Chain A
Amino acid sequence: MNNKALGFFGERPLPKFELAPHVLRRRTRRDVLLSGAGAVAALAGAGSLLPHDTLTRLGVRRNMNSSAKQWLLNRALRIDDDVAETLYSPRRTVPTYTKSQITPLKNNYNGATSGFHTIGRRNRLRGPIRCRVRPGLGRPA
């Protein structure tokens, strides 16, 4: 059946060709080995991106925090910032709430988990910081 008879959406028969058995074996071996090597590299690369605590739980004792890992994760954040900036519109403002609508913010298990408090913690900002200051809103404190 030709393609015209099958129409635009009609499924075409799969293209077929003949190969010598040794060529087929060689190509299979090459592709499977390359894919295997790629899979190991991808597994190692993706695994190293996991947080330190997760890796420790999985039994990895080595410190996998590298500058390349931080660079990649920061790059994704930067792209995300750029997307947010591109989507910015002065006509849209964040919703505001009355004081009565405020509810206490608790982490999981009704705030029972420990070790995530911010009291006494000091954060340091590094790197270039871009911000837009709109007139009339005053200077940031």
Chain B
Amino acid sequence: MGRSTTPVKEAISTSTLLEQPGVLVAKRHHLLVRWSHWLNVPIVLGLILSCISIYWSSPIYQHKPDPNTGNFDVAADIGIWICAHVPGLHRYNTPPDWIYNHMSLGPGMLALALRLHWLCTYAFMLNGTVYLVGLVMGGGWRGLLPRRTDLRDALRMFRYYIGFPLAKLTRRRWPHPSFNTKYNALQRAAYFSVPIAGFLSVATGWAIHKPMQFHSLAAIFGGFDAARVWHFWLMWVFILFVVPHVILVFADGWDTFRGMIVGWSARVERREVTANEQ
């Protein structure tokens, strides 16, 4: 996501220092955090695909059965609508299955989807533990904690993102707000919320999976049916997080992407180090 240090133009030394004797780098991400981050990609993808396949067998959002087709599933309606309105899809074989064919393992795969979902769930819980250990060992958890200035800083970032495309088009200078923290307020809000969403996904998942053993847990979420609704929308939290996350990482440049692979960033100011050393 967006960088949180002073804009490159103002930086005294950045990755352009490659020509100079030494390159100053800052350690950003602990090894365990990086590993769990990348392992989450196939795990969460597997969870989402299998989740929608499981949803197919008993959709949460239903309406009265259609007198002609018998369909009661809102997701199937969306598929029918897409096939009817998107050019090139008019001849699609099974319009009610369009969503399931494109966003899940496929319709009619409950047993297979459940097996994959459980495998991914246990991997997700294990990976989440590794992430937390990495956060504690690297001290990265402190950078995720919300702070009093977050609302004001978040508005500054919103203003920056909203004005950025117009500034690019008009070739106007549009400086990135400067922060002396690892993440800006929007990043912090996102990175703080996602582990909580992960925890809630696991909790609601257990409430659905073992409603007898964890009936108290299901009761916290408003009962078995409500826990299903929570679980379903928490999946969307992940989807809605991942899309801008990936776009902003690519927009921010190679240093941010590389940082999650190698662990350090070359976007450091020498001035900052000198100040810290004094």
Contacts and interface: CB of A to CB of B under 8 A. Distances in A.
Contacts of B145: 9, 11
Nearest to B75: A108
Contacts of A16: 24-27, 268, 273, 276
Interface stretch (B112-120, B165-173, B226-234): B112-120
A68 B71 CA distance: 38
Contact of B76 (A13, A49, A108): A108
Contacts of B73: 108-109
Contacts of B210: 83-84, 87
B72 A110 contact: yes
Contacts of A21: 17-20, 22-23
Given A54-B106, A108-B73, 14 more contacts: A12-B139, A16-B26, A18-B23, A20-B23, A24-B23, A42-B41, A53-B109, A54-B49, A72-B119, A73-B116, A77-B118, A87-B214, A92-B215, A110-B72
Interface in A1-48: 9-21, 24-25, 27-28, 31-32, 35, 38-39, 42-43, 45-46
Interface in A72-125: 72-73, 76-77, 79-80, 83-84, 87-89, 92, 94, 107-113, 115-116
Contacts of A89: 213
23 contacts: A9-B142, A9-B145, A12-B139, A19-B25, A20-B22, A20-B23, A24-B18, A24-B23, A28-B258, A32-B261, A35-B38, A49-B46, A54-B49, A57-B101, A73-B116, A73-B119, A77-B115, A87-B214, A88-B213, A94-B212, A108-B56, A109-B70, A109-B72
B27 A32 contact: no
Interface string B108-146: 110011011011001000000000000000010011010
A15 B27 contact: yes
Interface residues of A, number: 54
A50 interface: yes
Given A53-B109, A54-B106, A32 B262 contact: yes
Contacts of B182: 11, 14
Interface of A: 9-21, 24-25, 27-28, 31-32, 35, 38-39, 42-43, 45-46, 49-51, 53-54, 57, 72-73, 76-77, 79-80, 83-84, 87-89, 92, 94, 107-113, 115-116
